[in-house]
Structures are given as C-alpha cells and as structure tokens.
Amino acid sequence: MDSLEKMIIEQGEVREGNILKVDSFLNHQLNPEFLYHMGEEFYGLFKDKEITKILTIEVSGIAVALMAALIFKVPVVFAKKTESLNLDKDIYASKVFSYTKNKVYNIMISKRYLGSNDKILIIDDFLAEGNAIRGLIDVTQKSGAEIMGIGIAIEKGFQQGGSSLRAEGYNLKSLVIVDELKPGSIKFRAQ
C-alpha cells in the first residue's frame, strides 16, 4: 500500500530496539479517513473469504479492525488483555509474551462472541515476532471458528512472525512490510 509507505516515511519515527512509532495516525492520534482507506485495502485482499467476523486485540488493533469491519459489514471482536489469572469458564483465553513490555499477559474473548460457525479475519496494526497473533489464533482455534486470513497493517519483515506464519500456511497479508528500520532509512519490501 503505497500511501501507507509514504505515511510511514513522512510521519513515522524510528526508536531504539526496532521500534517504529506511528503515533500521528495509528497509535495515539487516529486519522479516520486514512484508516478507512486501510480498511478498503483489507477488503480488497480478503473480500472473497466469506468473513463473518473480524478479530483483533486491544488497544491499537481496534481502530483499523473497526474501519475494515465497516466495509466488510461484519462485527469486530477485540480480545482483552489482562494480567489477572482469574479466568472464568465463559471465555477463551491464551497467554502472550510481550517483547516490548517483557512480560506475559493473558488475552481473553467471551465465548458468546466467537463460535464454530464463524469465519474469522484476524487484523492487527503490527506484526513482529507474532506473539499477539499466535494468541489470537489460539483463542480462535479453541472456539472452533475458522481462520480465513490474517491482515496486518505494518509487518516487520526482519523479524520472524510473518515468515513463520506463512510457512505454516496461514493466508497472511500485510499492507506494508518493513525490511529495514534505521533512523533516516526505512526500507519496504516490494509486494
């Protein structure tokens, strides 16, 4: 997605530890029209997959998932993060290790909102090692729903999440793949 590459080059900030901050339109301030265009891109990539529900994870997946859902005309369910181990019977849960925060947290989804008839598109803002996506895959599998695709806004191609998931056969598409992330030099993979 050329316009997303342009936005990242113009507004993204590279920080120590391969961090790409896109706070001006995606992670703190939200640009609704641009997020809508990102939703249209996801629709173009997955429109033939008979998606019944979009699954994402709080916080920063919500905006892009919601705009995609507006175009797909399906609900979003966002997994909730919690450090609590007080997990009740009415939820599907999984553990996720966060490299950024160096801790394990639980993610959870109410059983009411994910079921074996659902055809799921997983959407998230970033993919690096893929831990959050693994957690979403895990809760989806526990629900019996089918994973039709995984849509990522910004994939860090120099980390292993994307290549591992593709090798396992997941239909993973990223709007942009960053192959190099240095201050003043952000390189994207040709797609």
Q: What is the binding site for a copy of itself (CB under 8 A)? A: 23-25, 28-33, 35-36, 58-59, 62-63, 66-67, 69-70, 73-78, 80, 109-110, 112-113
Q: Of the two residues 54 and 165, which places its CB atom closer to a copy of itself in the complex?
A: 54
Q: Of the two residues 77 and 175, which places its CB atom closer to a copy of itself in the complex?
A: 77
User: How many residues make up the chain in this entry?
Assistant: 191
3-state secondary structure of 55: strand
CA distance 1 to 176: 6
Q: Write down the least CB distance from residue 59 to a copy of itself, Å.
A: 5
Q: Write down the least CB distance from residue 25 to a copy of itself, Å.
A: 8
Q: Of the two residues 109 and 177, which places its CB atom closer to a copy of itself in the complex?
A: 109
What is each CA distance from 7 to 42, 117, 172, in whole angstroms? Answer: 17, 37, 22
Beta strands in 47-145 (DSSP E): 53-57, 76-82, 91-98, 103-110, 119-127
Q: Of the two residues 46 and 78, which places its CB atom closer to a copy of itself in the complex?
A: 78
For residue 123, give the nearest of 52, 49, 187, 39 by alpha carbon: 39
Q: Write down the least CB distance from residue 60 to a copy of itself, Å.
A: 9
3-state secondary structure of 119: strand
Q: Write down the least CB distance from residue 28 to a copy of itself, Å.
A: 6
